[in-house]
Structure 1
C-alpha cells in the first residue's frame, strides 16, 4: 500500500502510472476520488463536532464544580484506584523428590514438569521413583 501512496502523491509517478488510461477513465477516477474526499471531509467534520460537544460538557462540569466549591482532586480523593489486572504469582510447590547427581549436586523435583535427567537416568537403571521421595 505504501508504494500506491507514493505513486498517488507524486505527480510524475502518477502521470506515468495512468498514461495508458483514456480521458473518460481518468474522469471516472476523478469522480471516485472526489467522492472519497467528500466522505473524508464529512467524517472529519463529525469528529470535530463530537470533540466540540465533549469540550462543552467538560466546561459545564468545570463550571458546576467551581460553583459548588469542589476541586477536581477532591473527586479522586478517597476513590479506590482501579486494580491493575495482574496475575497473582502462586507460591512454588515444594520439592517432592531429591537425588544427588554424579557431581555431588542435590537435584530436586516437584513431580510436575520435566523430570531432571539425573532422576530419569536413575529410573532407567531400574530404581523406583518412591526411593527418591523426600517425605516418605
Structure 2
C-alpha cells in the first residue's frame, strides 16, 4: 500500500512505474482505479446524505423542544428509566424482622430467604414467629 501512496504523491515516479507495464496492463490498472474512484465517491455521497439527514433530524428535535416549553434537563429527567421497585437495589441491607436469643447468643433474621437453622428449630419446637418478632 505504501508503494501506491508514493506513486500517488509523485507523478514522475508514477510515469516511471507505468513504463514497466504493457498497454493492456495499464488499461486494466486504470479501469480498476476508476472503479475504486466511483465507489469512493458513492460512499462519500452516502456519508454526506446521512450527515444531512441527521442534521435535519436534530433541527426537527430542537424545534420540538423549543415548542414544547421543556428544557433539555427536564426531558432527560423525565425520560430516565425508573426502577421497578422503590429502593430495591442490589446490595441494600434489610432491617432484621426476627430476633432470637439462644444460650446467651443473639440471632437476627430478616424473614427473607431460607429460614436459619436456629429459627427453624425454634419454630419446630412449637413456638410461633410472633414470639420472636422485633417490635
What is the TM-score when the length of structure 2 is the normalising length? 0.52
* Residue of structure 2 in register with 1:15 after alignment: 15
* RMSD (CA atoms): 1.9
- Corresponding residue pairs, total: 80
- In 2, the alpha carbon distance for the partners of 1:9 and 1:24 equals 24
1:92 matched residue in structure 2:
none
**Secondary structure, in 3 states, of the residue corresponding to 1:20?**
coil
Measured in 1, the distance between the counterparts of 2:39 and 2:4 equals 20
Where structure 2 has 5 or more consecutive residues not aligned to the other structure, the ranges are: 82-135
* TM-score computed with the length of structure 1 as normaliser: 0.52
Moved over 6 A (4+): none
The offset of 1:73, in angstroms, is 3.2
Residue matched to 2:2: 2
Q: Deviations over 1:60-91 (max 9, x none)?
A: 110011000122233345859xxxxxxxxxxx
Partner of residue 45, structure 1 = 45
Post-superposition offset of 1:19: 1.1
- Paired with 1:16 and 1:76, the residues of 2 have a C-alpha distance of 62
Question: 1:1-136 counterparts in 2 under 5 A?
Answer: 1-77=1-77
